[in-house]
Structure 1
Amino acid sequence: MRNNHSRKLQEGRGLIFNVFVLLSCIGLYGQEQNDVEEGSTSADSKLTITDFAYPRTWLSSEQHASFTMNYKIKPGLFFELQGDYDTYLLADVFRMPFVTKLYISDKLYLLSGIELEMERDKMQIDLPPPQLKFKNGWGYDIRSNFSLEVEYDLHFNKSIYGAYGTPSLLSVHGKFRF
């Protein structure tokens, strides 16, 4: 009796494995392959869109996503719209800066714009109202995939809440694109 049960268990495992392999093959070979034609992306393109996200993991319930849209007005002048969405234990945070970038040389640019930051309260802890910020700064493209930026944020909303209580913020950060 016991031998019969273990044999059926092994057959069931073998069937599950075969179904998994079959579905994997269908998934791999059933997708249409689209090759990018040479020259289809151009340095003269007016609109570029980049995004990044990673989902929740089994260790954490956090999720982070961002996008950047650049629109070339004329050579050396760009509009940039960003969006960042982060989920945390206590709140979800959405940040959307809109800046204008003016290149004053091949690699050095000035930036100016506004930013709106909002939070969604998950735990009913009375989070601050949406924050409005005025941004100024400069950036330098060290390489085509790496740049440094210095930004000064002036917060219009006054608040007693932690980081929101500061009237302004100076930040230095790097951007690595890959």
Structure 2
Amino acid sequence: MKALLFGFALIAATTVVAADERIPDYSQHYDPERDPFQDGRDAIANATATQRRVLIELGGNWCAWCKKLDLFINNNQSVRKKLYDHFVVLKVNVSDENPNHEFLATFPKVTGYPHFFIAHSDGSVLASRDTAGFLQEGEYSKRRFLRFIDLWVINNNATMTAHE
């Protein structure tokens, strides 16, 4: 019986690892050593090939809200699946170690982290979104996050303002 349970656990763990292996490194971590220009080119190529939009997520390992957002996404499989089904996520580090000024100079100014920019697969920015809008009673809201994703799905003709 223990061997059977271990087998199921091993299969489940392998499935999670296999799913994460399909997600590029630039989508999984804030890394001050990464080149956001090259990662951006790779994300755009991926988005074009898979007919998705690019979600540029600014933040860093120093950022408590960035860590909470990562936990929220990773602990809500329906959110995680929908996010990665419809977006190529590009995490861009912003820190004292590497503020990525040159890359960020091409974007509107942000006031806090984590912060999202939604881009077409051609790289043009559609919207800027402060992730505080996903909070409800101090926690990230699954309903608000899923609504945000639904509004930006490529086949959705609805438009949304940056502050909606």
Q: TM-score, normalised by structure 1?
A: 0.25
- Greater fraction of residues in helix: 2
- Greater fraction of residues in strand: 1
- Relative contact order higher in (CA < 8 Å, ≥ 6 apart): 2
- Give the structure with higher Rg (CA): 1
